Structure 1
Amino acid sequence: MPTMSPRRWRDARLAVLLLAPAVLGMVAMRVVPAVSAFAESFNHLSLRTGVKEFVGFENYAYLLGSGEFHAVLGTTLLFNLVLNPVIVVLSTALALLLAQRLPAVGLWRSLIFVPAAVPGSVTALIWSTAMQPDGLLNALFAAIGLPKQPFLTSSGQALGSIGLMLAWGAIGYWMLFVVAGLKDIPQAVYEAALIDGAGWWRRLTAITLPLLRRPMAFVLVAGTVGSFLAFAPVQILTKGGPDGSTNLLMYDVYANAYQVGDLGVAQAEVVLLMILMAVVVAIQFRVLREERS
């Protein structure tokens, strides 16, 4: 049996020491809560009475047979189906624009990134003020002759308004990853294309976008996870309303746990949310892999 040389042994120990904090943090903040949620999803624990009893798959059966849960699931999927492609397209478009030699391009990048540094609760309050009946957005609409909009008080506009807030905070952040991908594209490829007479559109579709598939795929997958976990704007502004139009899965978990007081159902919903995210992300990876092939 081969043995490790002293140098390899030192390198292995150094690697373990460097990786240990990140691994321990991931286990403590990701793995342990996930295992705990799975275990507790088979129990019924009421915050009101404190009584805990094993109920098996009853919590899952209740959720899967509930019309309210089906509505929450449909709202969450629709929200992600619309929001995530918008974030990918806009962050890529901004990255392509700011990759040009524009005056004060560093300043523009910083200004676009600023919303990503604002906490979600602060973002919600900013947009809540702007979306008031006499707020900034309706003032702008009135200035160009458009009628006032109800935004967060309308069941037809509230979910889109929440999506607008999340996109505003996310686009600048994900744009940086696309910009980094643009910097990794060799300039020699563009120079060869120019020699061959390729125009701007041809270079974009034949070189830039194909070579940006990896960072764009990362933005899509990571953005999808973030959108599934959206909570703060809903909890602060709409409480899942009006008429359940913004009742996303994360808020429904909170409502079942701390408003209804049924932790077992809430934990079962967390497990279903994790399964749903895993399925959606797996489908995205499969589609992106087929596109690359």
Structure 2
Amino acid sequence: MSARRRRDLRLAAVLLAPAVLAMVALRVVPAVSAFGESFRHLSLRTGITEFVGLDNYAYLLGSPRFHEVLMTTLLFNLVINPVIVLLSTVLALLLAQKLPAVGVWRSLVFVPAAVPGSVTALIWSTAMQPDGLLNALFKVMGLPAQPFLTSPSQALGSIGVMLAWGAIGYWMLFVIAGLKDIPLAVYEAARIDGAGWWRRLTAITLPLLRRPMAFVLVACTVGSFLAFAPVQILTKGGPEGSTSLLMYDVYMNAYQVGDLGVAQAEVVLLMLLMAVIVAVQFRVLREER
């Protein structure tokens, strides 16, 4: 190996070291710790610590409550993730055009992504009050008032609206970046061949956007599975358990029930579930060569 190559490798190692150390400290170590503690009984109430093997997993897998929380989380992700990806793509296609003041419009769409999740929850909570902004608009349009967060049938959808509002602008930027990577010569050749807007969209744009859209879908899925702040701040898993998602249930097992072992076992199951879903998504959206 030449001296220059060794120097480049050392420089790369020095530049990557802070990010690698941070990832190990913030991701790998907690994951390994959670896996180890999932085989133990760790009570915050009594301070008892003992090895229980697979008992925590058996308790969760045999718990009707865990089954309900799991189904609620899967249903939530099944709906919210495609909606976010679809709306992000539509906005990206629109705002990638040469429109007047397009930079301003992009900034306005992105603003909700810069708002912390807790602030987003409070904003939408105010808007969804019985006498809030949304019901006032419904009244003007002659529509009946809606219960939103206080209704078992509407609360989870309301949480989804909050998350989508904060995520669409963020993921839109990744789709726009993917659009910018598509060579203009491909579109020019399609126009010469007489391809219309719809044909160019379906035959060129969407196929060449498969990779960035796959990234957006996978990252969006991980973010949705880890949703916690709106549930904790607004609904506490209610009404009637309709918004009890997995991350909130982990919090309940750890700090309300006081059993860290069960909570860590639930974290491990959540990581395994996300790994399987992400693997399936990569398989389905894999780019054909």
Pair in the same fold by TM > 0.5 = yes
Is 1:292–2:285 an aligned residue pair?
Answer: no
Match of 2:216 in 1: 219
Is 1:266–2:266 an aligned residue pair?
Answer: no
- Which of 156, 160, 163 is equivalent to 1:159? 156
Match of 2:225 in 1: 228
Is 1:279–2:255 an aligned residue pair?
Answer: no
Match of 2:190 in 1: 193
- Which of 242, 245, 250 is equivalent to 1:248? 245
- Which of 53, 56, 59 is equivalent to 1:59? 56
Secondary structure of the corresponding residue to residue 31 of structure 1: helix
Is 1:50–2:51 an aligned residue pair?
Answer: no
In structure 2, runs of 5+ residues without a counterpart are: none
- Which of 12, 17, 36 is equivalent to 1:15? 12
Match of 2:36 in 1: 39
* Identity percentage of aligned residues: 85
* One-letter code aligned to 2:3: P
Secondary structure of the corresponding residue to residue 285 of structure 2: helix
Distance 1:209 1:275 in 2: 30
Shift of 1:256: 0.4
In structure 1, runs of 5+ residues without a counterpart are: none
Shift of 1:286: 0.8
Is 1:122–2:119 an aligned residue pair?
Answer: yes
* One-letter code aligned to 2:107: S
Query: How many correspondences in the alignment?
Result: 289
- The runs of at least 4 aligned residues of structure 1 exceeding 2 Å deviation read none
* One-letter code aligned to 2:215: F
TM-score norm. by structure 2 comes to: 0.99
Distance 1:39 1:77 in 2: 26
TM-score norm. by structure 1 comes to: 0.98
- CA displacement, residues 118-160 of structure 1 (integer Å, 9 cap, x when unaligned): 0000000000000000000001111101100000000000000
Distance 1:112 1:198 in 2: 31
Secondary structure of the corresponding residue to residue 153 of structure 2: coil
* One-letter code aligned to 1:44: H
Shift of 1:81: 0.3
Match of 1:112 in 2: 109
Distance 2:140 2:196 in 1: 40
- CA displacement, residues 246-266 of structure 1 (integer Å, 9 cap, x when unaligned): 000000000000011000000
Shift of 1:292: 3.2
Distance 1:226 1:99 in 2: 25
